[in-house]
Amino acid sequence: MLERRRERQRLVPGAPGGEPGREATPSGVSRGELIVLAFCLACGAVTLLGRLGVIDLTGRAPLGLYPLYILAASAGWLNGNVFVARRRRGSSQWWMLAVYYLGPLAPLTLLRSMAGAASLQQAPLVPLFSAGVYSVFFLVPWSLRSTAAVRRDLTLLHDDLPDDEEGR
């Protein structure tokens, strides 16, 4: 009986009795987050091996600049919204910021490392610019999270006013 209770506590918090398939690790990280983190770390390792010259990445995926920037913007927006939603559920650990913010920069850097040699030489600052695009789109949902809460509080305050004061 005690083992079943411990198993339920290990499942995602907030789910009555836990949901099968949505298990969390003891630190509160879901399996999906671990998979994404492992993918990002693998991309970072491959990028590092390419920079050290162990493997040749040049020309493997000749992605243009606009698709790279669109991918960076989409990834930033998605990860910013997921990060805000995860923080709303009560997970306020700052390591999550590293996972959601720094993790997806590795696949973007890997994609840029796989561009053609001429493209890499002509525009060496593209990884920095794509990181900037990613950062801007990541920070937009994070910065707007507080304004939505203020707006909601003002609406609740307005609903509590008596009828004669609402017209002023």
Q: What is the pLDDT of residues 41-74, one digit of tens each?
A: 999 999 999 999 999 999 998 888 999 999 999 9
Q: Tell me the pLDDT of the chain averaged across its residues.
A: 79
Phi and psi dihedrals of 30, rounded to 5? -80, 165
Percentage of the chain lying above the pLDDT 90 cut: 42
DSSP state of 64: -
Beta bridge partners of 24: 30
Domain borders along the chain are: 27-157
Phi and psi dihedrals of 20, rounded to 5? -65, 140
Question: What pLDDT, in 10s, does the model give residues 74-122?
Answer: 999 999 998 888 888 776 677 788 888 999 999 999 999 999 989 889 9
pTM as predicted? 0.70
Exposed e or buried b per residue across 94-111, where buried means at least 16 C-beta atoms within 10 angstroms of its C-beta:
eebeebbbebbbbbbbbb
Phi and psi dihedrals of 99, rounded to 5? -70, -50
